[in-house]
Structure 1
C-alpha cells in the first residue's frame, strides 16, 4: 500500500493570493488616506493662509450699549437672517496708499473716511441694497472714544465723515482705524436706527489691488472726464477697461466732470462697484479653485474688518451674492436735499426715512430711490432715457468697439449703457 501524504498546493496558493490581496488593499487604503490627509492639510493651510490676510479688529467695547437691537440674536454665519454691513473707503495716503505723493500733508496722512455705504442683505437672500451716505451730509455725531482712550464730545450739524476723524485722531495705524470705525458706526446707527452687524474698510491700495486681481473691469463712462491736474484722469465717454490705477482715479475724481459734488462722485463709485460685481460673476470664480484662491488672497489682504467677520462668514455671504443675481443688487444714494443754512452741504430728505425703514424691517427699498442695479439697469422713474429715446441715442456709445450705434428699443430704454461694456 502506498501512503500518499497530501501537500495542499492549491490551498496554499489561495491563501497566498488572499494575503496578497489584503496587502495590496492595505497599500491602496494607506495611499488614499495619504491623499485625503494631503488634501485636508492643504485646505487647512489654504484656510489659515487666507485668514492671515485679513486684518480683524474688535471695536465692540467702543460702541457702548445704546444701540438699535436686532430682531433675534445673530448666528455665526447669519444663515436665514438679515445682515447689515458698513463698508468704508479710507482716503489716508499713508504707506502704499500714497497714490498722489501727498503723504507728508497732515490732512491726508492720517486715517480718514472717504466713502460710506450700508450693505443690507435680506434674510431670504433675495436681494441686496447698498445705501451710500454722502460724506457732506450734516449729522449729529455722538460722543466717541479716540484711539488713545480720550473722549471726543458729541457734535451737532457736523459733516458726516468727521465721525471717522473724531475717532481716529491723528493716527493711521490699526488702533486709529478701529476707533474711527467705531465712531462712524455710532453715527450711522444714530442717523438711521439700523443696527450695524459687521464692517469693513477698504483703502486706496486695496481698491486698486482688487480691480487688478479681477484682471481689469469694463466700465461705462457716461460723460467726458478731464482732470489732468488732480487725479490725472482724462477719458472720453464710452466703455473703458480699467486697471487698478484707472479705477482708483475714476472713483476719486471730482474735477473736470459733472458739477464736482460728492453726490455725482458717489454715482461713479456705484457704477464702478456694479461693474466689479458683474466682472466677478462673469469670471465664475467659484468654479475655478486657482483663480478663486488668487483673487481671495489679494482681496482679503486689502480689507480691515470686524473681529467676527470670519472667512467662512465672508464665503457664505459671497455665495449668497452669486445666488441672488445682479438684477437684485441695488445701489441707492441716501435721499437728500441741500441744507438751508449751508448750500455746500446736504441733509437727509423726507424720502430717506423710507429707505432706512426698509432696511430696519427687511423690506425692499422704494424703487424710486434706486440709483442703479448691479446688472446695469436703472429704474424708469429715474432714467431720463425712459421717457426720451432721443436722449438715449445721444448718450449711448457710438464707436464699434464701445457698442452698436443703434437706438435702443422702447423696451430697452431703462437699460444702462454700462451693461453693454463686457
Structure 2
C-alpha cells in the first residue's frame, strides 16, 4: 500500500538506501496510639473508601488502544507497590489539535509524533534512562495496521515522526506503529506506551504547580510566541507548552538543541516530583493522575490505574544521578538526521544489561541547548551520606554498574541543574 499523505512543509527527501537498525511516619508512644486508635481506624476506613472511588472514577476515564498483538495477556491487577522487574515505556507527544480547548494556530490536518521518549527502568530499580529520539531522524518503519483494516509500509527510511500517521493516527493504530518502529530501531520490547497531546502538557504542568527552569540567555520565538528573559522561571500551562515546543528560540534552532532544552525541563520536573514537597501533596498527586487520564491515551497494558502507580513507585527510590536523559545519537544528512548506529549500540547494550549510564561533556564546538547552571550549589565534600531507605519495598542498596556513553550521546542526569541556551530574533 502506498505511504500515507504527509505534510509537505515538514517532509524531506527520503534517501534511496536505508540502514536497518538492529511520610517518614512519625514515631509515637504506645499510650498515644491507644488514645487515637479508634480515630485512626475511622480515618483509614474513610481514606480507603475515598481511594476506591477515585481509582474507580479514573479507571473509567482511561482511553486505551491496542499495540497490535491479540495474543498478549492482559496486564495483571497488581498491588500498589513498585512494579516487579524492569520497565520499557514509550511516551509519544502528538501535535494533534483534535478536540483541543486551547488554540495553537492552524490545524495541520495530520498527526505527527514529534516527541518520542523511551523510558527504561532497570530490573532492580537502581537506575533509569529516558531516551529522546529526534523527530527528523530517518529510520525504517515496519508494516503497520492503518486502523481501517489495511496496512501502510514498510518504509526503508522515513522520519520517525511519521510513524503515528502510518498507523492511522493516535485514535487508531498510530501508537502501535510508533512502538513497532522504536522496537525495530532499538531491539527492545516495549510493553507500555502512551500518547500525550498539547492540552495534556498544559494540564500536567498545572497539576504540579509549574516547573522551575533556568534560562541562560533571553528566549525569543515568534513561532510559539515565547519570550523569556535570562533567569529562573516557573512555567506552567500554556507557557510550559511554549517552552517545550520552542525550537528557533533555543540553542542553534535545531530539534537536537530543542531536545536538550526539553531535557532541562524534565530534569527539573523529576527533581520536583521526587521532592518531599510534591510527594507529600495529595492534591498535586491526584491532580496529576487526573490530568494524565483525561489527556492521554494509553496502551491496553496500562488500562489498570494501579500499573501506572507501580511504574511511578519504581522511580521513587532511584538516586537522581542514576536517572539519565539522553538523545538517540545522530549525524546530519540531506533533509534530516541519520542514526549513528555505533554509538547507539553502546547505549542500548547498557540499557539491555540494566547498567546506569553516564553522559560525557560534549566535544568542543558541539551544539547543545543547555549549559551548566552557574548558581547551582557545589557538592559539599563533608556532607554526611544519605540515610538508607526504610521502605520495605525498596531494593537493598547495591553498587550500580555504570556505562560511560560516547561523547555524541548528548544529555544530562536528573541531578544536574542546567540552564537553557536562549536565542534572540536577531540571531535567527
The question of a shared fold, defined as TM-score above 0.5 by the shorter chain, is answered with: yes
Q: Quick one: distance in 2 between partners of 1:79 and 1:364? A: 19
Structure 1 residue 34: Cα displacement: 8.0
**Greater relative CO (CA pairs within 8 A, separation 6+):** 2
Aligned residue number for residue 347 of structure 1 = 339
2:220 is paired with a residue of what secondary structure?
Answer: strand
What CA RMSD, in Å, does the superposition of the two structures yield over aligned residues? 3.4
* Kept after mapping to 2: 8 A contact 1:74/1:81: no
Q: Quick one: distance in 2 between partners of 1:40 and 1:343? A: 56
2:58 paired with 1:58: no
Q: Quick one: distance in 2 between partners of 1:335 and 1:410? A: 34
2:51 paired with 1:43: yes
Aligned residue number for residue 229 of structure 2 = 236
Pick closer, same or farther for the CA change 1:306–1:151 going to 2, 3 Å.
same
Structure 1 residue 270: Cα displacement: 1.0
Q: Quick one: distance in 2 between partners of 1:271 and 1:277? A: 10
Of residues 267, 273, 298, the one that matches 1:274 is 267
- Aligned residue runs from structure 1 range 359-378, under 5 A: 359-365=351-357, 367=358, 370=359
Q: Quick one: distance in 2 between partners of 1:359 and 1:277? A: 20
Aligned residues: 343
Pick closer, same or farther for the CA change 1:214–1:74 going to 2, 3 Å.
closer
- Aligned residue runs from structure 1 range 76-91, under 5 A: 79-91=83-95
Tell me the TM-score normalized by structure 2. 0.71
2:418 is paired with a residue of what secondary structure?
Answer: helix
Aligned residue number for residue 99 of structure 1 = 103
Q: Quick one: distance in 2 between partners of 1:187 and 1:159? A: 11
Q: Quick one: distance in 1 between partners of 2:380 and 2:312? A: 34
* Kept after mapping to 1: 8 A contact 2:328/2:344: yes
Structure 1 residue 76: Cα displacement: 5.8
* Kept after mapping to 1: 8 A contact 2:205/2:240: yes
Aligned residue number for residue 260 of structure 1 = 253
Q: Quick one: distance in 1 between partners of 2:379 and 2:363? A: 15
Q: Quick one: distance in 2 between partners of 1:97 and 1:135? A: 25
Q: Quick one: distance in 1 between partners of 2:379 and 2:209? A: 32
Aligned residue number for residue 70 of structure 1 = none
* Kept after mapping to 1: 8 A contact 2:268/2:417: no
* Kept after mapping to 2: 8 A contact 1:225/1:256: yes
Structure 1 residue 312: Cα displacement: 1.1
Aligned residue number for residue 298 of structure 1 = 291
Of residues 306, 309, 314, the one that matches 1:315 is 309
Q: Quick one: distance in 2 between partners of 1:45 and 1:238? A: 43
Q: Quick one: distance in 2 between partners of 1:410 and 1:418? A: 18
What do residues 84-113 of structure 1 show as CA deviations (whole Å, max 9, x unaligned)? 00110011122226532313xxxx233321
Pick closer, same or farther for the CA change 1:247–1:311 going to 2, 3 Å.
same
